[in-house]
Amino acid sequence: MSTNVLLIDALNLIRRIYAVDSNHKHLTDEQIINSAHQRVVNATKKLLKLSQATHAIAVFDGDKSWRYTYFENYKQNRSEMPIALKNALNTFKQGFNESGIMSFSPEQDEADDIIATLASKISNQDIACTIVSTDKGFLPLLNQHITIYDYFSQKRITPDDVQEKYNLPINKLVEFWALAGDHTNDIPGVKGIGKKTALNILTNNASVEAALANNDLPEKVKSKLTSSISDFITAKVLVTLRNDINLGFSLKQLRVKLS
């Protein structure tokens, strides 16, 4: 049996399932947690079967990552996790473990960076892996070995899907978000350059660096870029997922434990 690795963005899955259950106002906090927990367990079993995973891990976020130090306004408007859910995270971790997969909570790193590091290392060994998340930040990782699966739309995301949504290839997404900003994470991008201008820049140029060297770039746009280049660099660092995190475990430890 060929090796297939399942990488679950744990809080992305849990919080979306919890949000649906919490809309049932007649349920108590305990009932909502129990319902969400069972649905996460069921989702995990479906994902293991769908991906035919031989190895799997559910990755949680650690405490505030390096991004909060690098940029003080990072995720400043992000809503806090509900207390009832926060207090029940160990229950969800146990659910993953009981489903036969390892759960991992780093001390400080974000799940996105851990998953990106795992996916990159696995891909470099020509091993197939599936990332389960609705987070757009994983899209630049797509390649012949890395698949992204949206559990809620039950769809594998392809480079063609990215091209259709953004009108850009996956290798230009990071610079697109760095130019236009990533408002879901309170990353502002370059002042005066929105999505339309960012798209024009990257459609007509291989990169922002190439655009700045292009004599055909409108002077008004070039002025905005040059005057705010430090903001672009900051945003690009923030939206780029790291692939060099020291994990402290091996692929062998992620083997699915069948009951």
**Residue-by-residue pLDDT tens, the chain, 259 positions:** 699 999 999 999 999 999 998 888 788 999 999 999 999 999 999 999 999 999 999 999 998 899 999 999 999 998 889 999 999 999 999 999 999 999 999 999 999 999 999 999 999 999 999 999 999 999 999 999 999 999 999 999 999 999 999 999 999 999 999 999 999 999 999 999 999 999 999 999 999 999 999 999 999 999 999 999 999 999 999 999 999 999 989 999 999 997 6
Domain 4-158+241-254 class, CATH top level: alpha beta
Q: For the sheet containing 128-132, what is the strand order?
A: 102-104, 55-59, 4-9, 128-132, 146-150, 155-157
Q: Which two tokens stand for residue 235?
A: 């945003």
The string of pLDDT tens digits covering residues 155-172 is: 999 999 999 999 999 999
Whether domain 163-239 has CATH 3.40.50.720: no
Contact 99, 44 (CB under 8 A): yes
Question: Where do the structural domains in the chain lie, given as residue ranges?
Answer: 4-158+241-254, 163-239
Q: Are 117 and 65 in contact (CB under 8 A)?
A: no
